[in-house]
Structure 1
Amino acid sequence: MRCHPGWALIDGQAPSGLETHGPTRGRDQTQLRSCTMGMKIWVTAPFFYADMSRPWSETLDQMLRIVDAAEEFGFEGITINENQFQNYVCNPSAMMFAAVAAQRTKRLRIVPGVVVLPAYNPLLVASEMSMLDHLAPGRVGLGVARGGSRLQLDRLGVAPSEQRAKYEEGLEIVRAMFAQDDFSYDGQFYSFPPTTLLPKPITKPHPDIWVASQSTDGVRRVAQQGLNLITAPNYGNFEPYGDLEELLAAYNDEVEKSGNERQQVMVLRHTWVGQTEEEALEYFDDVVNEYNYYMALVKGPGTVDTKEGRLATRDVGESRDYVHGGKMTPENHSFSKENLLEKYADPILTTPDKMIERFKHYENLGVDHMGCLIAVGMPTEAIIKNMKMMSEEVLPAFAD
């Protein structure tokens, strides 16, 4: 068995609550890991702010309530969404919120992610992450991506033609700054003389790095780099069966080809549990609404009807006029709730036993962590109640 690479030993001791996982072989997608530890369940802080007639502070309070409930109810961790200048993900700083979450919790793992690296100076990302690691030693990781929204990158002056190269330079610099003293760099976008990160991260060798990727080419690249993967196929929920399996097969296949040790995989899913199917579908319209906001942000009008299209590398598209006063105009896709679980791999809006069955399928595929998106317009009290039900009726099936 191996320790999580980023949640490694601190001064020779494992942090409280540290789990270990065994590798899953890429050639046998259904083979269970050889370790006795089960898949762990996370939640997300999505900062979805569709109703702008409400104060944003209510959204902030809801996210803090989710942090507190995740700590209390035994979820393994929380991922924190970030995006700017629109109300789909209305959180300008995942790092800042992560620092607040770190001070409110004692055991919860925290991943600010994703941080769109082309939008930042990587030296500052590494510095702030190191400070966060000192606030919550052994409990934090860094989620990064190249960015999927033209809106954000246009405002920050990042040319789409330079996005990928700037991301790769930024990631290289962050990794090197964690590992080396007096590191210097002379690249296309960043150049600096010998520089040492102070303070250095307390977690050895460094905090976990998670890369968000949604295409087969992208997940292969993550495997080549020997990094952890956060994934869900492109274009949000209402995902056909088979897409995720193909992504995981590509990641595992590339792990074998590269000779790297397989790292952790987190899969994101929209979830809601109910004692009956009808109860689980109570907030179905909110799930559809969130999907339409997501599609407006990343794609625009139209759908993706082929697996090849859904798993292809997504560009940031053309500049579009769909945000006014910060409020997005969502798309207008519609879905039927009939036979939802049979038709789609995501969302998972169902009873505890069927949710466990679905999660066990992902566990058998080698998924280490399930990230549950549970706040897409529902009332705060309903979200907390649903988390409590998950903790009582779903999480025990994945206990060590």
Structure 2
Amino acid sequence: MEFATFILAAQRGYHQSSESVIRNSIEQAVASEQAGFNTAWFAEHHFNNYSLIPSPLMMVAHCGGLTSTIRLGTAVCVLPLYQPQRLLSEIGFADIVANGRLELGVGLGYQQFEFERFGVDIDEAPAVFSEYLDIILKGLNQNVFEHDGQYEKIPPTAISVRTVQQPTPPIWIAGGAARMARAYREGHNFFVTAFHDGLETLTTLRESVERAAASEEKNVTDVKISLLRCC
């Protein structure tokens, strides 16, 4: 078992400036390394004070220069809100400046008001996520890639900023049963969340994980599972 810190960067009152919240979050990442945590994860949210981190990759890049051993992860990059071609270069850049310590978490998002303000249809988020993840995997694994999909049509394209970790950084997927099954099918890791809930929720989560593994004829332990708990 490994222990990690999930850094939300919440502004708990307007007596806190955004600068103080961000600087405290950076300090928390540094302290997590000193305390022996394996990974510091950074959230992504927009247009509210629930979380003040608009780009977890920017936090990875910055904290990469302040730490030396702790893994630094995105939890998560909300794929439907990105242009995947640009995101590929930013992933490569973050892994370089973090000296190969990037953990790449991706998800489809859930807050409708965020999607509305980006002009993205949240009802299409699962399909967009699936296609954008296809693009990310192509771009990370191929020196030159192309894509002809429902949402993106990309001619032969080279991503010059390549990740240090080859062929890719560890990839983590957030979401429900369909995303769990894909994780097992393709060998990715995934996140599950129980927040403050008790053993009944944990039992339900375990059953969901077991079903996802069985659906792909895999063992439950074939991938890493990260459980988020509030404490």
Task: Choose from 96, 105, 125 the match for 1:163.
Answer: 125
Aligned to 1:349: none
Alignment of 1:225-304 (within 5 A): 225-233=186-194, 237-260=195-218, 262-271=222-231
Q: Deviations over 1:62-103 (max 9, x none)?
A: 101101111111111100011110011121111111101111
Query: Which structure has the larger Rg?
Result: 1
Find the aligned partners of 1:49 and 1:257 in 2 and give their Cα distance.
41
Query: What is the alpha-carbon root mean square deviation over aligned residues?
Result: 1.7
Q: Secondary structure at the match of 2:151?
A: coil
In structure 1, C-alpha distance between the alignment counterparts of 2:215 and 2:130, rounded to whole Å: 21
Residues 346-376 of structure 1, C-alpha deviations (whole Å, 9 max, x = no match): xxxxxxxxxxxxxxxxxxxxxxxxxxxxxxx
Q: CA deviation at 1:219?
A: 2.7
SS in 1 for 2:65: helix
- Alignment correspondent of 1:90: 52
Equivalents in 1 of 2:86, 2:218: separation in Å? 28
SS at match of 1:95: helix
CA distance in 1, matches of 2:99, 2:218: 26
TM-aligned CA deviation for residue 239 of structure 1: 1.4
Deviations 1:36-80 (A, max 9, x none): xxx011111111112023211110121011011111111111000
State whether residues 122 and 173 of structure 1, in contact with CA within 8 Å, keep that contact through their aligned partners in structure 2.
yes
1:216 Cα offset (Å): 3.9
2:102 aligns with 140
State the distance in 2 between where 1:165 and 1:216 align: 14
Q: CA deviation at 1:181?
A: 2.3
Per-residue Cα deviation, 1:144-202 (whole angstroms, up to 9, x for no partner): 11001001100001112321111111100001110012211111111111112212212
Q: CA deviation at 1:260?
A: 4.8
CA distance in 2, matches of 1:57, 1:168: 35
Alignment check: 8 A CA contact 1:228 1:263 kept:
yes
Matched, 1:121 2:83: yes
Give the structure 2 partner of residue 219 of structure 1: 180
Q: Tell me the TM-score normalised to structure 1 length.
A: 0.55
Give CA deviations for 1:80-138 in whole Å, capped at 9, x if unaligned.
Answer: 01111001112111111110111100001000221110000111111111111111233
| DSSP 3-state at the match of 1:242 | helix
Identify which of structures 1 and 2 has the higher relative contact order when contacts are C-alpha pairs closer than 8 Å and 6+ apart.
1
TM-score (norm 2): 0.92
Please state whether the residue corresponding to 1:82 is helix, strand or coil: coil
Secondary structure in 1 matching 2:126: helix
Structure 1: which amino acid aligns with 2:10?
A: F
Of Structure 1 and Structure 2, which has the larger fraction of its residues in helix?
Answer: 2
**3-state SS of paired residue (1:57):** helix
Matched residue, 1:104? 66
Q: Which residue of 2 aligns with 1:42?
A: 4
Structure 1 gap ranges (5+): 1-38, 272-400
Partner of 1:131: 93
Partner Cα distance (1:164, 1:221) in 2: 12
Which SS does the other structure have where 2:68 is aligned? coil
Residue aligning to 1:281 = none
Q: Is the 8 A contact 1:48 1:87 kept in 2?
A: yes
Identity of aligned residues (%): 26
SS at match of 2:85: helix
Which deviates more from structure 2 when the two are superposed, residues 50-59 or residues 241-250?
A: 241-250
Once residues 129 and 174 of structure 1 are traced to their aligned partners in structure 2, the CA distance between those partners, rounded to angstroms, is 9
Matched positions, count: 229
Counterpart Cα distance in 2 of 1:217 and 1:204? 26
Cα distance in 2 between the residues matched to 1:190 and 1:217: 22
| 1:230–1:266 CA contact under 8 A, matched in 2 | yes
